[in-house]
Structure 1
Amino acid sequence: MKATRSTRKTGVVCHTLANNWGRSAMEIRREEQLNPVADEVLALTSIVRPILTGVLYALKADVVAEAGGHLNVKLKMLPRLYRPGDVGICFEYAVHEAMNSGDARVLERMETALKLCNIKRPQPKSILFGIEKTGAVQLIDTAKNILTDESRTLAGKVGQPPKLRSRLNTIAAAFRRPATRAALPYSIRGLWKADLFVGSLDTQQWVGTTVKINPAHLEGAAGLRVGIIPTRQGQNDRVRLDDGRGLVICPLHHDADFMQAFYEGWRIVQAFIASDAKVPPERRLPRPVDREICRMLEERREFPAIEVIEDLRIFGQPELLKTVAREVDRQDLKGETDTSMLVAPLSRTV
């Protein structure tokens, strides 16, 4: 099965999966645009939010403790507490946020990746599995509220997939104490390396996912099934199975796509911090839309960063798409076709 490159129409992603011989059914997917495509300020606000979250939770634990905890770190304190170099953590948060906010630039890629992991009707959702990493604290435990007692992690091995919810504490402990790793089933013994659990709320099937801003750092491990990386010029940008790593590789596109938006948001945050949490000079951020984001942040510099990040949600791009998929028998279709999935945009009704 070969995936063609995506095309975009008014913010709606259209793609076809071709040459899937042997199937008697064809999947027809309707994507309905829920909200109008936002202007640049709204779109950039949506990407800046998770980047600021990554900056906040990348602060050293002892530094945060001196400030009275994450809840008390004011936005204006970030330039004094932050040390550059945590773009990887920010990328994790941005990918997580994109999936859960309905960003088609990420969703369409992850849908293909989850299908290669044998998850049906994926409609991907992400659980941020934050553990202590390289001295940074990003412990966000929402997983238990999302998972059920029947949630399973697909490890790609023969046998019944292990249940996930009851093992969360052991997986977290395995990161800090190597001796604990032996308590995990062999098929998921490396699951403590996961950055996200991505899967389907409907089927409660999840896969351990590693997110790397530098593709050279991508490594497989027992229990990890998907690796998310940026595309690199001249390299394969298909969602594909890497037998060597045992991962489904999911590259995110750059030009006029998610990675370009991420790096634009990253530059805005870096310039804002370098300017003492104030609007940078024009030479530093020449584009007016970038400075508008910083102006929005500067107006809130006296408030706790965690509150500002949450409040920015209402100023960002609302969810764009609702996807409805159904299968029809090929014999019911008129004419001949060699496609297994068709996607077409449906304009907003209000």
Structure 2
Amino acid sequence: MSQIEIRTESQINPVGDEVSALIAVIRPILQGLLYALKHEVVAEVGGFSKVKLLMLPRMYRAGDGDIGICFEYAVHDAIKRGESAVVEKVNDGMRKHCKVKGNETSSILFGAEKNGALRLIDTAKELLTDESRLLTGAQAQPVKLRRYINLLAAAFRRPTTRLYLPSSISGAWKADLFIGMKDTDRWVGTSVKTNAAQLEGATGIRVGIVPSRQGKSDKITFDDTKNLVICPLPYDGSFTEIFYSAWVIVQQFIAADAQVPKEASLPSTSQRMVAKLLSERRDFTIVDVIEALAPIAQPELLMTTTEKRPAEPSRDEIANIETLIAPMSRIVTPDA
């Protein structure tokens, strides 16, 4: 008898209160700022794991690219957490335009040394396998990403290394993320920018993720001139608005020497609450603070359950398994 596998994606948590949503985005912002600190300065205190939160105002020097780095970290973290507004958008872009099949969306933070600042290289090999393929839209067989990941990292810093890479992934060294599906092991090079005008096309990059602007459309488009699928993340009451609000909190917190800023600097009650949580932890390392805030951050939003049910076999099929995906609204408790 044939079986039908029914996979149901349920939203297990509402889009949380503003404080927990802000904390969720504050964490990758702190991580981005930490790893953007100059390596020689960090070495003076014993490494990144030794940098206390109260040291951030003294060690941090604002730069034009800081918000962009933190946006990359925030998008990467949102995909890993299952932030529905972000996951749904990138999934639509990958499935409709890049032909990426699968259901387990994931992200690899691809770090290289940019603008003289050390950036974190996420543990790509934990996600990549020997069969991980990088889809570029070229007619050729997709290359195995794991085989070239180290060369791509080196190619950003050393142009001569680029000669050893296949032409089908040219420019992939400029990717900020590799997003894809773990269950099908297919990935696409992705550029993440806070300004859509800064997106650069390349053979090895298929997707561009940018924040949508307040009151503007967040419709997915295809840029013919850059050969990029443009995925604007929604603004009003959603991810982009939360990101900018969290960025303001961190900047005001730094300006206030790791203390709660004046009310005029952070007039919102929720923003001041988050700043207070940070201030209370100023004597701990940034790494520990990021970890400590995890339980009170906006949790993962999606839960996938699978159920197999018997089905009547057709004349031509005896044991076929088909997959159906059914979206469901969030589970509402009586006191919700």
Contact 1:29 1:344 in 2 (8 A): no
1:189 matches 2:173: no
Aligned to 2:274: 293
Distance 1:88 1:139 in 2: 14
Contact 2:12 2:330 in 1 (8 A): no
Quick one: which of 78, 81, 94 aligns to 1:114?
94
1:95 matches 2:95: no
Contact 2:261 2:275 in 1 (8 A): yes
Mapping 1:153-232, distance limit 5 Å: 153-232=134-213
Mapping 1:1-350, distance limit 5 Å: 30-85=8-63, 86-115=66-95, 116-232=97-213, 237-323=218-304, 343-348=327-332
Aligned to 2:316: none
Distance 1:219 1:233 in 2: 23
Aligned to 2:312: none
Q: Which moved more, 1:178-187 or 1:52-61?
A: 52-61
Aligned residues, how many? Answer: 309
Whichever residue aligns with residue 183 of structure 1, its letter is: Y
Q: Normalising by structure 2, what TM-score?
A: 0.87
What is the CA distance between 1:311 and its match in structure 2? 1.6
Contact 1:128 1:196 in 2 (8 A): yes
Distance 2:237 2:332 in 1: 23
Q: Which moved more, 1:236-245 or 1:66-75?
A: 236-245
Question: What is the alpha-carbon root mean square deviation over aligned residues?
Answer: 2.1
Q: Normalising by structure 1, what TM-score?
A: 0.83
Q: Which moved more, 1:211-220 or 1:113-122?
A: 113-122
What is the CA distance between 1:30 and its match in structure 2? 4.6
Contact 2:13 2:330 in 1 (8 A): no
**5+ unaligned residues in a row in structure 2: which ranges?**
1-5, 308-324
Q: Deviations over 1:277-311 (max 9, x none)?
A: 01111111111211111111111111111111122
Contact 2:135 2:187 in 1 (8 A): yes
Contact 2:130 2:146 in 1 (8 A): yes
What is the CA distance between 1:343 and its match in structure 2? 4.5
Contact 1:111 1:123 in 2 (8 A): no
Contact 2:206 2:227 in 1 (8 A): yes
Distance 1:234 1:316 in 2: 27
What is the CA distance between 1:347 and its match in structure 2? 1.9
What is the CA distance between 1:181 and its match in structure 2? 0.4
Distance 1:250 1:342 in 2: 24
